[in-house]
Structure 1
Amino acid sequence: MLAAHLLTIETANSGVTNSGESNNAAQPQSSYLKRDVREDVFYFVMPDRFNNGDVSNDSGAPKGSISHGGLDTTSKWAFHGGDMAGIEQKLDYLKSMGITAIWMTPILRNKAVQKGGFAHHGYWIVDFTEIDPHFGSNADLKRLIDTAHKKDIKVFFDIITNHTADVIKYEECHNADGSFKSGLDQCTYRSLQEVKEQGTYRAFVPEKEQGEKFPEWLNDPRFYHNQGDTTFEGENSLYGDFNGLDDINTEDPEVVKGMIDIYTKLISEFKPDGFRIDTVRHVQLPFWQAFSPAIMAHAKAEGIKNFHVFGEVYDPNPEALSSFTTEGKLPAVLDFGFQSAVGGVFFEDKPVSTIETLIAQDHLYNDEDSNVNQLLTFLGNHDMGRPGFFLNKHLPNASNEEKLQRSMLAHAMMFFSRGVPVVYYGDEQGFTGDGNDVDAREDMMPSKVASYNDNTLLGTEQTTKNDNFNPEHPLYKSIAEYAAIRKQQPLLQYGVQENKFFDDKKQVFAFARVANDTMPNGGVVQQNDEALLVVFNVSAEQQTVTVSQQYESYLVVSGAAKISASDNGETQITLPAFSFGLFSSK
């Protein structure tokens, strides 16, 4: 409520130590099973590029297997040796940073090499029943999950329903051994109209790869679209093969049942805490309307009541994204809209009102079982690139110190804004990368890739040639601090986000996080006048802004901003260059 008298300023004791741990005993951390996903902090990791804990599995399955080979630690395309044991060894490193959930790229058994490429990323699955041998065994995965759970860290699987590895070939395009016929390097997409007139391609599996997929039904070509290669536009983004990957016919009721069976069995066997679903927009909504509720119900029956599912819908438009959480029945999606808006402001110096426009559309996600606070927010990833790359690309004349400040500030925005923050592995160590895809998949363990090792990292003199698990890195320490603050402030986890002011000329903006009725009972105050005020200065100069006084008193929770008041009902906030202020009305 509006206050008619002078603002009172106090300083809060946040209880944050340099290690990122909280010494505030007033708010105990719930166990991983009881913890709502909105209280989590995610770490997105590509196992192959993280840490090699067991060199004996570096070549995968025995020689002769479809899952053998591909190891070349000098090639950015190949396998590098990271595995489940390597992640297990670094759980304390993650926990000290405030990480409460790990999301791994796909770990099920892949076709290791195809078309000269390598499945280090895990997205070319042939066997949906066991872990890829490059990453260890099923027992290794279970041990990782068990150890993580003992440390109160959740584990999320990255899953795929849209396609399998490239095993199916077409008589019109391929020779009997699976190679392309002379003059061809792809199979031109056949539209639905063309299929109606002349049928799909005549599918076959080369003799050497017959029976390689598991479960067995996946070996039957009739469960695939068989319409040729997609151009990622129009209808072929739903029915075409991604670079030859076998596109599954997810409209077939038998396929829907089969996919539900695959992933409910994985839940029963491994007890993960949730799924990230790949290529969601390339599968029609009716599939998700059946798949998601079935998966959620099974997880709850297995005792995982806070099991969470979020989909990859590679689209920055909130209208498109929200259609999958409302009509599509997914609990959440990755917030590509957040990445686009926040990345544009912090990494490209676009107007801050870009964020205002984004937040104004948050209501689109609200329905009976989802809202915007369940979305996963991020700044970069394994496909598009890293914050450090975006900064080098769009602000090439900025100093290394400015780029570091912008990255830290963008991470603060991610932790204090609505949604669940996701830290992409290596960003906490200042990784930059040369671009997207494999150029954004550097090694955390000492790398032998020349194009990685010549990069200048943010906030350190080290390179990727070194071991990069440094808890003293300024980005690591900042993220640990933000995670501790977020843990202590339920409004940052559950509060509604309200736009306050956006000044494109000064590159200063503010928003509030206010209480609402979705917040859980037990230790959380739900008074109507409780709020957090968050202010950012994304400019290279100190800025002072004046806003109408809205609350009677403020606690300074974090940040370098100074807040003061006059007797005319206005609040004045001064922010140093590239800084933020976090204030509580309580």
Structure 2
Amino acid sequence: MLKATTLHLLGMTLITSSLLNGCSKEDHQKSASTPNVPAEISKSEALVVPVSETLPHYLARDIQDDIFYFVMPDRFHNANPANDMGDPNRPISYGGLDKTSKWAFHGGDIPGVTAKLDYIQNLGISAIWMTPILRNKAVQKDGFGHHGYWVVDFTEIDPHFGSNDDLKILIDEAHARNIKVFFDIITNHTADVIKFKECHDTAGKFLAAAQKGCPFKTDEQLANGDTYTPFVPEKEVNVKVPAWLNDPAIYNNQGDSIWQGESVITGDFAGLDDINTSLPTVQENMINVFNDLITEFKPDGFRIDTVKHVDIEFWQAFAPAIVKHAQSIGIPKFHIFGEVYDGNPAVLSDFTTTGKLPSVLDFGFHFNVKDVLYSGMDVNRLSTLFSSDDFYRDHDSTPLDLMNFLGNHDAGRVGYFIEQGFPNITDAEKLQRSKLSHTFMYLSRGVPVVYYGDEQGFTGDGGDVDARENMDPSQVNVYNDNTLIGTSATTADSNFDPNHPIYKTLVNLAKLRSAHPALSRGEHHNRHVDADKHLYAFSRIAADEQKEYIAVFNMSNTRQSLTLDVDSSNYEQLSGEIATVSNNKAMFDLPPLSYSLVRATEKAPLSIAKRIEISNSYIDNGKLVIPFEIEFENTLALHNINLSIFSIDETGSRTFLAKDTTYPYRLILPTEHGSKLNKIEVVTSNFDDIKIQKIISLTP
């Protein structure tokens, strides 16, 4: 390793500038506004040792080490056409097949996911998350249950997708490849079965022909006797399983949500029967339902739908009970993450702190990366996003467990966002933006989630059904007329192409991430942000390795340079554009829409704290924020300190509250909790566990 020279490339761990740009010398000589072509890797190299088989065993593997593939079985691959219509013996779960309609069932199934495990595994995936697969009401007034979110039976697989045995085969086959399987579950609602006499006729149709919903009734209206009279049409009596779900008394029955106020919790989600999750009997029964699913199928975790539409007290009971049960039957790393459709970390974190969910989908990441990389907005949004990670820190939560994603089945696809934000750019730039955003997701803190088809350059026409194209040859005209990114194929073709440039980029990113655990587990430090140049740099550093990784992203359409002060004398190139280092300065020269990743060859120097002070507390998004100022004995470009905060009660007993490992150092608590604090103990420790401690009184 040579000081003050171009950084050396690393043999097998190097993913070359190739990973994103894949450029030859000739390509480098092209105009700076022309993105470079993708790298080629040999098929044999991609398939030799799948990433999942290089990771710890799935039962012992921490969620931070995983890379997720989010798949909608109905739109993925049809391995058993015999189940395409569902079960004719149960009319509520039969029918709805129309391969020409974007709304209807298309025939994809669980055996189809099993049949494509090679494709998924070779992409570098270590965990599969499927949209709900429990038995649905196949057809409702507003569409078809191809997505799986209209459950009527919580004990068996929807016949459109296969059988319980088919699911067990998939899980066994995935586990044999060291791949986890996650279920998508719903506790907020069931399918639309319950009707109201004030709103529907006896057959369940609206009384008024133009009517599309039942007006929401507030708690005040209910208290004054203004209520709905619930009933179930004769043909759907007792269709729900378990049987307790057929009792209208366990539902809120207040009409359709208006998406604000109390209706967020107690209103019907687009007409779906909203379960009264505040009832103790409902909480107990729901815990039993999903514990039984874990016992039967042995999945590795749950993604939970519509989390913010459920009482937070429900999650406080549900999540710990589910995790405890899974652990009791031999699934020690069972993981849960919730869907909270909100980009504000203060709101999202309510459910990982107060709500006791282990993790949530990071909509803040989704919205901010979308704004910056797909719409050209201020890059400061990214540094602000990661500075807000303190909202997630408490005694058992960490931002490293957040689930990062770029697109999904509701919001839309990466390709669509790029088309909307930059409609007139070249095909090459669209490809480059997709690859750069995926690279950013893989290198940032949190767990990457790839939405099926994004690795094939799918674009779609928007959110919801417009983002649910087929991987098998499609018969939907509004899908097939889209121009895909990085390929001449359309959705009328089969799109399981391991040579697609985005697919190959993700293969290399998965190898990079698995070869360097700090990219999965390392703390994420903001290092530099420049709104004018559209540059953002961050560091990742893990306590076990203690070596700094620096990632610099040029998110602009022009070549940019950056010089960073660094603490190590030597850094080695891992990926992206070549950097140089001299006199503790790292210099990056980045073409348009490119990045560089380097790693220090020596451990980071120890940060020596000498003084801790508390700054004035303040309220932010309804949370009490207590900032800390730490003075250090030494001057470094990046300080690495573990700040642990404990509450001390009247008896002197200590209770761990949270830890913060990145600047700015803060304790963030719900205001009702913070108001009860009288005294705290603050402890800082460095990589050598050198500590200073201070007890601080919070009372005047």
- TM-score w.r.t. the length of structure 1 is 0.95
Does 2:420 match 1:393?
yes
Q: Percent identity?
A: 53
Cα contact 1:7–1:552 (8 A) shared by 2: no
Report what 2:71 is aligned to.
45
Does 2:578 match 1:562?
yes
Report what 1:459 is aligned to.
486
Greater RCO, CA 8 A, separation 6+: 1
Report what 2:693 is aligned to.
none
Which letter does structure 1 place at the counterpart of 2:205? S
Cα contact 1:14–1:485 (8 A) shared by 2: no
Report what 1:581 is aligned to.
596
Once the two structures are TM-superposed, the CA of residue 116 in structure 1 deviates from its matched residue by: 4.3
Does 2:490 match 1:425?
no
Cα contact 2:54–2:514 (8 A) shared by 1: no
Higher Rg of the two aligned structures: 2
Q: 2:322 aligns with which of 276, 288, 295?
A: 295
Once the two structures are TM-superposed, the CA of residue 352 in structure 1 deviates from its matched residue by: 1.2
Alignment of 1:189-208 (within 5 A): 189-208=216-235
Cα contact 2:416–2:460 (8 A) shared by 1: yes
CA distance in 2, matches of 1:353, 1:7: 31
Cα contact 1:20–1:98 (8 A) shared by 2: no
CA distance in 1, matches of 2:492, 2:6: 51
Report what 1:497 is aligned to.
524
Report what 1:383 is aligned to.
410
Report what 2:465 is aligned to.
438
Alignment of 1:163-178 (within 5 A): 163-178=189-204
Q: CA RMSD in A?
A: 1.6
Once the two structures are TM-superposed, the CA of residue 185 in structure 1 deviates from its matched residue by: 2.7
Report what 1:134 is aligned to.
160
Once the two structures are TM-superposed, the CA of residue 548 in structure 1 deviates from its matched residue by: 1.5
Does 2:384 match 1:357?
yes
Which letter does structure 2 place at the counterpart of 1:565? V
Does 2:565 match 1:545?
no
Does 2:127 match 1:101?
yes
Once the two structures are TM-superposed, the CA of residue 364 in structure 1 deviates from its matched residue by: 1.5
Once the two structures are TM-superposed, the CA of residue 539 in structure 1 deviates from its matched residue by: 1.4
Deviates more, 1:303-312 or 1:227-236: 227-236
Deviates more, 1:287-296 or 1:341-350: 341-350
CA distance in 2, matches of 1:509, 1:107: 40
CA distance in 1, matches of 2:433, 2:381: 17
Alignment of 1:13-412 (within 5 A): 13-15=11-13, 18=42, 19-20=45-46, 28-62=54-88, 65-183=91-209, 184-412=211-439
CA distance in 2, matches of 1:210, 1:28: 51
SS at match of 2:397: coil
Which letter does structure 2 place at the counterpart of 1:58? D
Cα contact 1:8–1:553 (8 A) shared by 2: no
CA distance in 1, matches of 2:408, 2:331: 27
CA distance in 2, matches of 1:148, 1:24: 13
Report what 2:545 is aligned to.
526
Once the two structures are TM-superposed, the CA of residue 368 in structure 1 deviates from its matched residue by: 2.3
SS at match of 2:499: coil
Which letter does structure 2 place at the counterpart of 1:526? E
Which letter does structure 2 place at the counterpart of 1:563? A
CA distance in 2, matches of 1:64, 1:296: 33
CA distance in 2, matches of 1:386, 1:24: 26
Which letter does structure 1 place at the counterpart of 2:585? E
CA distance in 2, matches of 1:14, 1:314: 40
Which letter does structure 2 place at the counterpart of 1:538? M
Cα contact 2:569–2:582 (8 A) shared by 1: no
CA distance in 1, matches of 2:109, 2:397: 34
Once the two structures are TM-superposed, the CA of residue 8 in structure 1 deviates from its matched residue by: 7.8
Which letter does structure 1 place at the counterpart of 2:120? L
CA distance in 2, matches of 1:435, 1:275: 27
Alignment CA distance shift 1:157-1:94 (3 Å): same
SS at match of 2:7: strand
Cα contact 2:50–2:122 (8 A) shared by 1: no
Once the two structures are TM-superposed, the CA of residue 422 in structure 1 deviates from its matched residue by: 0.3
Q: Write the deviation string for residues 414-471 of structure 1: whole angstroms up to 9, x where unpaired.
A: 0000000000000000000000000000000000000000000000000000000000
Once the two structures are TM-superposed, the CA of residue 366 in structure 1 deviates from its matched residue by: 1.5
Alignment CA distance shift 1:564-1:116 (3 Å): closer
5+ residue gaps in structure 2?
16-40, 602-700
Alignment CA distance shift 1:265-1:357 (3 Å): same
Once the two structures are TM-superposed, the CA of residue 30 in structure 1 deviates from its matched residue by: 1.5
5+ residue gaps in structure 1?
517-524
Cα contact 1:227–1:239 (8 A) shared by 2: yes
Alignment of 1:507-526 (within 5 A): 507-516=534-543, 525-526=544-545
Cα contact 2:6–2:579 (8 A) shared by 1: no
Which letter does structure 2 place at the counterpart of 1:546? T
Cα contact 2:7–2:578 (8 A) shared by 1: no
Q: Write the deviation string for residues 494-514 of structure 1: whole angstroms up to 9, x where unpaired.
A: 100000001111111100001
Deviates more, 1:344-353 or 1:166-175: 344-353
Cα contact 1:21–1:98 (8 A) shared by 2: no
Once the two structures are TM-superposed, the CA of residue 75 in structure 1 deviates from its matched residue by: 0.1
CA distance in 1, matches of 2:216, 2:322: 32
SS at match of 1:10: coil
Cα contact 1:310–1:331 (8 A) shared by 2: yes
CA distance in 2, matches of 1:345, 1:434: 20
Once the two structures are TM-superposed, the CA of residue 244 in structure 1 deviates from its matched residue by: 1.1
CA distance in 2, matches of 1:375, 1:346: 20
CA distance in 2, matches of 1:64, 1:488: 50
Q: Write the deviation string for residues 206-249 of structure 1: whole angstroms up to 9, x where unpaired.
A: 00000000000000000000000111111101110112100000
CA distance in 1, matches of 2:69, 2:208: 45
SS at match of 2:475: coil
Once the two structures are TM-superposed, the CA of residue 566 in structure 1 deviates from its matched residue by: 4.0
Alignment CA distance shift 1:64-1:41 (3 Å): closer
CA distance in 1, matches of 2:531, 2:12: 31
Which letter does structure 1 place at the counterpart of 2:451? Y
Cα contact 2:518–2:545 (8 A) shared by 1: no
Alignment CA distance shift 1:75-1:22 (3 Å): same
